Amino acid sequence: MILKSKTAVVTGSTSGIGLAIARALAAEGANVLINGFGKPEDIEKERAAIESEYGVKCIHSPADMTKPDEIAAMIALAESTFGSVDVLMNNAGIQFVSPIEEFPIEKWDQIIAINLSSAFHCMRAAIPGMKKRGWGRIISTASAHSLVASPFKSAYVAAKHGIAGLTKTAALELATHGVTVNCISPGYVWTPLVENQIPDTMKARGLTRDQVINDVLLDSQPTKQFVTVDEVAAIVVFLCGDAAKQITGANLSVDGGWTAE
C-alpha cells in the first residue's frame, strides 16, 4: 500500500469521480477526508463503508467550496485529525450550459469559485505542511475542456483552462520540495454531473436525449465510450506513487482520443 499512514483530502467526493478517487486512495492505505453535499444518511453510508472496507479512518467535511474560510478550516480539520495532508485532490465541480449573453452572472461566479478558486484555496492551505514534510501530491480534476472548448460552457471551459495553468505554476514553485502537482483531463465520464447537464443541452441545442448522448457527448470521443470513474481513480493512485515522482506540471488526458483530433 503506497499511502499507508498518509492522509488524503478529496473535494467533491460524496459521489461520482471524487468518491471513486477517495475509495481508491483508501485502498492504498490513506486516511481520507471526503467533502461534498448530499443526504446525510447517504454520506454517512459512504464514509462508514470506506472505513470498514479498507481499514482506514474517514471523516466528512461539509465545507462550501465557494467559501475560502470553510476551505481553510477543512484542511485544518484534516491536519488536526490525522496529523497531515499528504494528498490533495481538487475535484469539486459544477456545470451550467447557456449562451454567453444569457449566462446568469451568479452562475458564472459560482462555477469559477467551485471549479477553479477552490483549488487555489485548498492548495494555499495545504502547501505549507507539504513543504515542511518534504512530500506531497496535489492533483486536480481538469477536463478535456482544459484543452479545447465547447459552445455554451463559457464558465466551465474558462475554469478548467485555469486549473491547467494553476497546476503548471504550482508545479514550478514546488519542484524542489518533493511535491508534485498535476491535473487529469477526462473526457465525458458518466457521472451525475454529466447526466444532469443533458436536459440543459437538449434545450440549448434543440435535441433529444439520445441525440445529446450520441451526437454531442460521445461524438467528441473517438472510442465512442464514456470514461469510467475507476479509470480516473487509477491514474490518481499512479500519480501518488514513487514511479510518478518526476511527473509534475502535467495535464494527463483521459478522453478516448478527444483532444488528439
Q: Where are the domains of the chain?
A: 7-188+228-260
Q: What is the pLDDT of residues 223-250, one digit of tens each?
A: 989 999 999 999 999 999 999 999 999 9
SS3 category, 188: coil
Whether residue 102 has pLDDT greater than 90: yes
Question: Residue for cell digits 466528512?
Answer: 60
SS3 category, 61: strand
Neighbours of 52 (CB within 10 A): 10
Residues 6+ apart with CB under 8 A from 210: none
Query: What are φ and ψ of residue 228, in 5° steps?
Result: -100, 155
Local confidence band at 196 (pLDDT 50, 70, 90 cut-offs): confident
What pLDDT is attached to residue 254? 97
* Side-by-side strand order, sheet with 7-10: 58-61, 31-35, 7-10, 87-90, 136-141, 179-186, 251-254
* 140 burial via Cβ count (<10 Å: 0-12, 13-18, 19+): buried
Local confidence band at 191 (pLDDT 50, 70, 90 cut-offs): confident
Contact 88, 94 (CB under 8 A): no
Q: Tell me which CATH homologous superfamily contains domain 7-188+228-260.
A: NAD(P)-binding Rossmann-like Domain (3.40.50.720)
Local confidence band at 200 (pLDDT 50, 70, 90 cut-offs): confident
Q: Determine whether 188 is an active site residue.
A: no
**How far is the CA of 233 from the CAs of 133, 177, 230, 249, 254, in angstroms?**
25, 25, 5, 18, 11
For residue 182, give the H/E element and its range.
strand 179-186
Mean pLDDT of 71-85: 98
Report the distance separating Cα 149 and Cα 157, nearest Å: 6
Q: What percent of the chain has pLDDT over 90?
A: 90
Report the distance separating Cα 46 and Cα 53, nearest Å: 10
Neighbours of 63 (CB within 10 A): 25
SS3 category, 140: strand
Mean pLDDT of 156-167: 98
Report the distance separating Cα 36 and Cα 175, nearest Å: 30
Catalytic option among 156, 188, 226, 258 = 156
